[in-house]
Amino acid sequence: MRGTAGLMSDHSTRDRRFDPSRRTVIGSCAALATLGASLRGRAEAAPAAVDPQPQTMSVSLEINGTRHDLTLDTRTTLLDALREHLDLNGSKKGCDHGQCGACTVLVNGRRINSCLSLAVMHEGDSVTTIEGLADGDNLHPLQAAFLHHDGYQCGYCTPGQICSAAGMFSELEAGWPSHVTDDITQKASLTDQEIRERMSGNICRCSAYPNIVAAIRDASTKI
């Protein structure tokens, strides 16, 4: 057996080992304070993030028969170039995701969603907007037919509907079939079913679809 003196000696050793002195505690706190100040100083000295300058590019577009030379942020969509840089506000921004068709314009005769296309991609292209369809005071047959058949209510989607229909006529003339064309080896007839299918990318929240179909069918006989 170990003696009482030995037990007391071990207990005293453990007390000295795990009971830090006042000097040790003060020294540790001072070290932590110094480290915290150093880290804080580094954080304050770090430069703030700076937004990169937008990259611009020159682009030449022929819009409604007139050439326009623009310098644009390369991220600018064709729709924003038309509306914000050229004040051609007929083309509307609806969903801005290419799902509603309100922004439809004609590029080199083909209909596109201008909200999904960057302006700088169209160097030298010919762009036709709703403002460029009429011949002076003479309305385009589609514009006149939409008026006659009341093919709109609020009118927000109407520019896109009319431009899309104009592009659709060109596709029909070129012999492009649709998903509902019975015989893809033959030129499709412009039935109501064909019109609805080919215009399905243009949404009318007012639900004026019967009048839109009637207007397009009427205009097809005058183009």
CB within 8 Å of 78: residues ≥ 6 apart: 105, 107, 112, 114, 115, 117, 118, 119, 121, 122, 127
Q: What is the pLDDT of residues 20-36, one digit of tens each?
A: 666 665 666 666 666 66
Residue 159: per-residue pLDDT: 98
Same structural domain, 155 and 198: yes
Residue 54: per-residue pLDDT: 86
Q: Which of 143, 141, 163, 150 is nearest to 92 (CA)?
A: 163
Domain boundary residue, one of 100, 132, 164? 132
Same structural domain, 145 and 124: no
Same structural domain, 202 and 170: yes
* Contact status, residue 203 vs residue 157, Cβ threshold 8 Å: yes
- 188 lies in a domain? yes
- 63 lies in a domain? yes
Domain boundary residue, one of 132, 156, 178? 132
% of the chain residues with pLDDT over 90: 75
For the chain, the domain total comes to 2
- 107 lies in a domain? yes
CB within 8 Å of 107: residues ≥ 6 apart: 78, 117, 122, 125, 126, 127, 128
Q: How confident is the model at residue 48 (pLDDT cuts 50, 70, 90)?
A: low
Residue 50: per-residue pLDDT: 66
Q: How confident is the model at residue 175 (pLDDT cuts 50, 70, 90)?
A: very high
- 211 lies in a domain? yes
Same structural domain, 205 and 161: yes
**Structure-derived torsion over alpha carbons of residues 78, 84, 85, 87, reported in degrees to the nearest 10:** 110
CB within 8 Å of 29: residues ≥ 6 apart: none
Q: Is the pLDDT of residue 85 over 80?
A: yes
Q: What is the pLDDT of residues 96-108, one digit of tens each?
A: 999 999 999 999 9
- 29 lies in a domain? no
Q: What is the pLDDT of residues 181-213, one digit of tens each?
A: 999 999 999 999 999 999 999 999 999 999 999
Instruction: For residue 212, give the 3-state DSSP assignment.
Output: helix
Q: How confident is the model at residue 53 (pLDDT cuts 50, 70, 90)?
A: confident
Mean pLDDT check: name the lowest of 38-52, 72-86, 182-196: 38-52
The residue-averaged pLDDT of 122-139 equals 97
Domain boundary residue, one of 115, 132, 149? 132
- 20 lies in a domain? no
- 51 lies in a domain? no
Distance CA 159, CA 16 (A): 89
CATH number of the domain encompassing residue 203: 1.10.150.120
Same structural domain, 124 and 160: no
Instruction: For residue 59, give the 3-state DSSP assignment.
Output: strand
Same structural domain, 163 and 110: no
Same structural domain, 60 and 108: yes
CATH number of the domain encompassing residue 72: 3.10.20.30
Angle subtended by helix axes 158-173 and 141-148, to nearest 10: 130
CB within 8 Å of 113: residues ≥ 6 apart: 98, 101, 103, 104, 201
- 212 lies in a domain? yes
Q: How confident is the model at residue 3 (pLDDT cuts 50, 70, 90)?
A: low
**Domain extent at residue 170:** 141-220
Q: How confident is the model at residue 172 (pLDDT cuts 50, 70, 90)?
A: very high
Same structural domain, 82 and 64: yes
- Predicted TM-score (pTM) of this structure: 0.77
The residue-averaged pLDDT of 41-54 equals 67
